[in-house]
Structure 1
Amino acid sequence: MLDANKLGALGTLISDRLDVALEGLSPSAAALLSMLHFKPGLTASRLAKIAGVSQPTAVRLIDGLERQQLVVRGKPTGRVTPLLLTEAGRARAILLQQRRLETLDTLLSPLVPEERRRFEQALDRILAGTTTSRAFARVTCRLCEHDLCGPDVCPIGGRASELERREAEADNHQGDR
């Protein structure tokens, strides 16, 4: 249990450091900015699912980001309103990603290259082993730099794809009966 306790301490350290890197934005608001940076045009409902918050909470977060002139509502199509980043929102999302990665990289600085490689391998196993679905992957990776960790190297996305393939194969197998 000592290793689990140390992992908890690391989690707290990461959380505390990231709170500073987000510069006054809540993790949920930062997640909305990040997701809109990588996937412009998402709706409040979709963002709520990804950020792991209720739809009313997502709307309040979007309202706050809109007041800060970081987000604008696009032209509604029926009951669907796409959300987009402003230029200031895009710049803030990029800055948040840079600060987030710099902060996390600093935590890894005590490790020599070989230790970092082994640590990354262990992280990949933990992340893949805890991934349960594509929805889980979206929520877990809501603050990730998606251009850095694409589908070929992301243990969470890779595992989610594997689970989807297995489910499709099982469905096809069921259909053969």
Structure 2
Amino acid sequence: MHGSRPADLDTGNAGTADLGTAELGTADPGTGSLRTANLLGAAALVITDLILAADRAGGISPSGAAALITLSGRHGLAVTDLGRRVGLTQSAAVRMVDGLSAAGLVERTRGPGRSVDVRLTGEGEATARALLAARDAPVSAALAALPAEDQETLADLLSRLLSRLYDDVGDADLMCRMCDRAACTAGAICPVGAAARARAATAGEAQSEVQRGAQGEAQGEAQGEAQGEAQSEDPG
């Protein structure tokens, strides 16, 4: 990564993304659940600190790092779409892209019609790979303290937890903005993507049911009108 870049390449949100007004579960947990929640929160905070430290060591802000990783492997995204995926407003996303462009990590290219897409440069691609490696290193080191069997159990538990968290956040792109997609889907299915598809399928079924109900009502009304007309025309 470019050592001479400023510590914060964008002026957008330098912390974690705003998850909006999602209301997390408020069930009253028992004492054991409270301890588990506390341990999970402590571990999540330490891991977040390690990841953010790796980002800053490379001279990239958290939102800038998320943008580079999000763009990695894609042909390009509009500034507004990129901002949404990393949790920034449109104006903050513009400033972020300006900073990344000035550093030679992204470029604006003409998209379909009059749209303008943001794409990674060659240096941007290399930086995105380096960011993922830097992020994975401290997390992998922490996991190494667990036996392989415990790591598999933890992976299953985390998949279930992420599926549940999708119900609250409702945005797979935002949740997975710092994900190593290749690692996530190696011989497995992304739990967040699976949760998103399940919700879409449920919404589609509900919409179809509404449409079928509306069609049934329309057909019933048409038949009723036809029968009424037939009876009025019947001289008997």
Amino acid across the alignment from 1:10: A
* CA deviations over 1:5-27 (Å, ceiling 9, x no partner): 11111111011100122123111
Distance of 2:79 and 2:161 partners within structure 1: 31
SS state at 2:184 partner: coil
Distance of 1:131 and 1:145 partners within structure 2: 18
Residue 119 (structure 2) pairs with residue 84 (structure 1): yes
Deviation at 1:148, TM superposition (A): 2.3
**Aligned partners of 1:76 and 1:82 also within 8 Å:** yes
CA RMSD of aligned residues (A): 1.8
Q: Report the equivalent of 2:142.
A: 107
CA 1:19 to 1:52, structure 2 compared with 1: closer, same or farther past 3 Å?
same
TM-score (norm 1): 0.93
Q: Report the equivalent of 1:17.
A: 50
Q: Percent identity?
A: 32
Q: Which sections of structure 1, spanning at least 5 residues, go unmatched?
A: none
**Aligned partners of 1:134 and 1:161 also within 8 Å:** no
CA 1:109 to 1:167, structure 2 compared with 1: closer, same or farther past 3 Å?
same
Stretches of 4+ aligned residues off by more than 3 angstroms: 76-79
* CA deviations over 1:117-170 (Å, ceiling 9, x no partner): 111111011001111389511100001112222395111111111111111111
Larger Rg, first or second structure (1 or 2) = 2
Distance of 2:59 and 2:139 partners within structure 1: 18
Question: Residue 67 of structure 1 is aligned with which of 99, 102, 114?
Answer: 102
Distance of 2:109 and 2:61 partners within structure 1: 23
Q: Report the equivalent of 1:43.
A: 78
Amino acid across the alignment from 1:17: L
SS state at 1:73 partner: strand
Amino acid across the alignment from 2:72: H
Distance of 2:38 and 2:168 partners within structure 1: 27
CA 1:99 to 1:70, structure 2 compared with 1: closer, same or farther past 3 Å?
same
SS state at 2:206 partner: helix
Residue 29 (structure 2) pairs with residue 6 (structure 1): no
Q: Report the equivalent of 2:195.
A: 159
SS state at 1:176 partner: helix
* CA deviations over 1:92-115 (Å, ceiling 9, x no partner): 011111121222111111100111
TM-score (norm 2): 0.71
Residue 83 (structure 2) pairs with residue 55 (structure 1): no
Distance of 1:61 and 1:95 partners within structure 2: 19
Distance of 2:177 and 2:105 partners within structure 1: 18
